Structure formats: structure tokens, C-alpha cells
Structure 1
Amino acid sequence: MKLIDENEKEISEINMTPFVDIILVILIIFMATATFIVEKKIPLNLPEAKTGEDIQNKPNQLIVSITKSGIFVNNEKVDLKKLKDVLGKKVKSKKDNIIVLRADKDIKFQKVVDVIDICRELGLEKYIVETKREI
């Protein structure tokens, strides 16, 4: 009794075409549904520090950049007088929010103090001062 007919061939290779088709369809679906985030950057000349830690981006962080040209909250230009209103709207829960201060090294420190005062008025007490690592 023969198990294999003489006319039938034994399968010696796996047909990869259906597998490749499925992978390509999954890739196309992934690319179509993925969100691409493009961050705008504000040119800053940050002060340098020998010590420091890498900052991990967290959803509860508000990035406040202070430059000669103005104050930016998450890359949106804000007037100092309107900063309290803007930060108040962006704050979700006052306990968990962290303010990341990026201040240009050529600005007056009074601007940084003004921003910290506004944050404290809103009940924001956690700050990170961002610097460049000295190499």
C-alpha cells in the first residue's frame, strides 16, 4: 500500500507568497493608521551643567521655554500677562504636573523668576530646569 501517489509530488518547499501578502497588508494598515508627530523646535542657547539627568517625556509635563523673543508653552508663544491663563487651562491635576523650564542663558533671570511665580500661584510646585550636558 502506497501512501503517496506517483503522480503527486511531495511538498518540499513552503509557499511564502500568502505570508508576504499578509505582512504587506498589515504594514499598509499600520502606516495608514499611525500618527506622525512633528515637533517644532525653539532655538535655545541653554546653559551647561556637568551634572544632570536625562529627562523622560511624560504626558503630565508642560514645557515652558523662555527666550529673548518671548515665552513659549509647549511651543506656543504666550505673553507673560496671559501665561497664567494658558497654564491654568493646560493643567489637568495640579498635584501631578511637572514644569520643564528651558531658559536661554542670555536672558535676565528675572524672567525665570516671573514664570516660577506664576506657576506657584497656580499651585504648580514641581520644576525641572533643563540644561545642556557639558562634555
Structure 2
Amino acid sequence: MAFSNHDDEVLSEMNVTPLVDVMLVLLVVFIVTAPLLTNAIPLKLPRTHAVAPPDQHKPVVVSVDRDGKYYIDRRQLSLEALGAAISQAHQQDEQRVVQLRADQDVVYGRVARAMAVIQQAGVTRLAVITEGEG
């Protein structure tokens, strides 16, 4: 809208209301669609090309076989004993990495339980081991 103090002076102002309306609509669209983009991705694991660099400390190898049995360095343990053994190894060397190896046919809940036990033992360095392609 233009106002004039005198007949030959015109003040012009830019109307930003449509710009604000468009920006708010875009914000709502992004807020609604962003969570939908992160879920429901079909995956088939665990083959990779990535190779981890060698570590200086001898890792603790935790394995979960196809039947859901837990092992540390080829020694079969219960889930509770697994937690105690990992905690003891972590107290001896806090820089030690725990490597988790799981059969691709094992129920995912078993792997999740092993990861929870490893986390409860205070381990912050966990490597999930996969088989290379080819």
C-alpha cells in the first residue's frame, strides 16, 4: 500500500506475507515427511567391502551361532556369564575392542541381547564383523 505526505512523494513497501506463508507451508511439509524417509528400508546383511584397520590391542571376540548360543573366544557361555567375562576383560584393558560375530541366520533378538550385555559391561568400542564379498 502506498501512502503519501504530499501528492508527488510515494512510499513503497514490500509485502512479505506471501513469502512467510510459503515458508511456513514448506516447514510443515518437511516436518511431516522427514520421519517417513528414515524407516522401512529393506536390507540384507552382513556382506561388506569395508576392512577395519588392525588394532594394537587383542580384541575380545564374542560369537553368536545359528542356534543362538554365545561364545567368547570359542568358549560357550550363558548370557549372564558372557556379561561377567566381558566386564572383567574390559576392566583389565579399557582400550580393548569387542568384536561381535553373528551368524546371518540367527534371530536378531539374540544379537541385540549380546549387544546390550556388551554395553552394560561398559564397553565403548564394539566392532561388528561381517564377511567380505567374493
* TM-score after normalising by structure 1: 0.57
Greater RCO structure (CA 8 Å; 6+ sep): 1
For residues 41-120 of structure 1, what are the structure 2 equivalents within 5 Å?
Answer: 48-54=46-52, 56=54, 58-69=56-67, 70-91=69-90, 92-94=92-94, 96-120=95-119
CA distance in 2: counterparts of 1:73 and 1:54, whole angstroms: 20
Native 8 Å contact 1:101 1:130 kept in 2: yes
The RMSD of aligned alpha carbons is 1.9
Runs of 4+ in 1 over 6 A off after TM superposition: none
Counterpart in the other structure of 2:10: none
Q: 1:55 to 1:76 in 2, by over 3 A?
A: farther
Q: Secondary structure at the match of 1:85?
A: helix
Identity among equivalent pairs (%): 16
How far apart are residue 48 of structure 1 and its match? 4.3
CA deviation digits over 1:34-81, x for unaligned, max 9?
xxxxxxxxxxxxx54232105636434100010134111011111112
* TM-score after normalising by structure 2: 0.58
Note the residue ranges of structure 2 that are not aligned, 5 or more in a row.
1-44
Q: 1:90 to 1:104 in 2, by over 3 A?
A: same
Note the residue ranges of structure 1 that are not aligned, 5 or more in a row.
1-46
